[in-house]
Amino acid sequence: MDFNALISETAGQLEESIRNKYHVEISDELGFTGRKGVYDILDNLLSILFPGCYCDDKIRETEMLSFLNERLRYVSYMFMRFLKDCLKYNCNLSCAQNNCSCEKRAEQVMESLFRALPKIRATLITDIEAAKKGDPAAESLDEIVFSYPFLEAIATHRIAHALYQENVPIIPRMMSERAHSRTGIDIHPGATIGESFFIDHGTGVVIGETTTIGNRVKIYQGVTLGALSPFDSQGAPLVGKKRHPDIQDDVIIYANATILGGNTVIGKGSIIGGNTWITKSVPPNSMIYNTKD
C-alpha cells in the first residue's frame, strides 16, 4: 500500500468537497475562532449571574462591584466581535428594512442582553427557591446552586433565550447544546419558560423550540415536551409552525412522560404521571396516569 499516494488522493477529494459542497467558513464574514470563544463568553455570563459558583476566584463583597464591572466590560468586548461576525454571516431582510448595519444590530443586541441580565438573575433565584421547596433532599440553596445540573441548564437557557428573541443566529443554539452536553438537559433556546421552574434530576429531559411553560412548573427526568411536526403536501416538515405543547401554571410532570404537539395544552394545576404518552389537551386540575391490570 502506497500511503503517500492514498493520503494525496484522500486530501484532494476532501479539499474538493470543502471548496464546492460545504464549508463552515466559506463566507469571509463568519470569523468564528470556534465554539471555545462562545463557551468562554457563556462562562463569564454565568460568573456574572453567580460569582460564588462560576468564578474561579473568591470574590469578597467589597470587590463585587469592581468584579462585575470588569466582567461585563470583558463580555462586551469579546461578545461584540462574535455578534458582528455572526450577524454579517446571517444578514437578512429585517436588517435591511431597518436601515441598520450589522455593527449597529450587534450593539442593540448587547444592550438588550445587558438590560436583561438583572431580570434573568431574579428569575433564576425563583428557580432555585422552587428547587429548595420542591426537593426534600435539598438541604440548602447553596447545595442546589453548586450541585444541581438543572441550574446550569436553565441559566444557560435564559441567556440563550434572550439572544434568540433578538434573532441572533447560531450562538444561542451553541450555548444550549453546551448545556445539553454537560447536564443531559436539552432545552431549545426558543422555548419560553416562566418563573419558579424546577427540573428534578434532569437527565434526558427534552424541551422543544415552540414549547411554552408557565410559572411554578416542576418536571422530572426523561420528560419530553416534543413535536408532532406538521407536514406539507410533499411530506416535508413545515417551518415556522407551532409544534410543541403548552404547559400552564402549577403543573407537575413525572418521569419519562411524553407530551407532543403544538395544539396540546396541559391545563393549570394538572399532574401528569410517569411514562404517559399525551397528544391531546388536558383540562385544568387533571390527573393523568397509566394503569396496569
Of 206, 198, 117, 128, which is closest to residue 161 (Cα–Cα)?
117
Q: Rounded to the nearest 5°, which phi and psi values hold at 52?
A: -70, -20
- Both 166 and 218 in one domain: the answer is no
pLDDT > 60? residue 292: no
The reported pLDDT for the residue numbered 191 is 98
pLDDT in tens, 168-196: 988 999 999 999 999 999 999 999 999 99
In single-letter form, the type of residue at position 233 comes to: S
Domain assignment present for 7: no
Average pLDDT over residues 56-74: 88
Listed in sequence order, the DSSP H helices in the chain are: 3-20, 35-49, 51-54, 64-89, 93-97, 102-134, 141-147, 149-165, 171-183
Write down which residue in 184, 218, 244 finishes a domain.
184
Tell me how many domains the chain contains: 2
Cell output for 131: 428547587
- Both 136 and 250 in one domain: the answer is no
* Residue 171 backbone zone (phi > 0: left; psi -120 to 50: alpha; other: beta): alpha
- Both 95 and 217 in one domain: the answer is no
- What pTM was estimated for this model as a whole? 0.88
The reported pLDDT for the residue numbered 31 is 47
CATH of the domain at 124: 1.10.3130.10
CATH of the domain at 245: 2.160.10.10
Domain of 286? Answer: 204-293
The reported pLDDT for the residue numbered 26 is 44
- Both 45 and 156 in one domain: the answer is yes
pLDDT in tens, 94-109: 555 555 688 888 999 9
- Both 135 and 60 in one domain: the answer is yes
Average pLDDT of the chain? 88
- Both 63 and 127 in one domain: the answer is yes
Q: In what order do the strands lie in the sheet with 252-253?
A: 198-199, 218-219, 252-253, 271-272, 287-288
In single-letter form, the type of residue at position 102 comes to: C
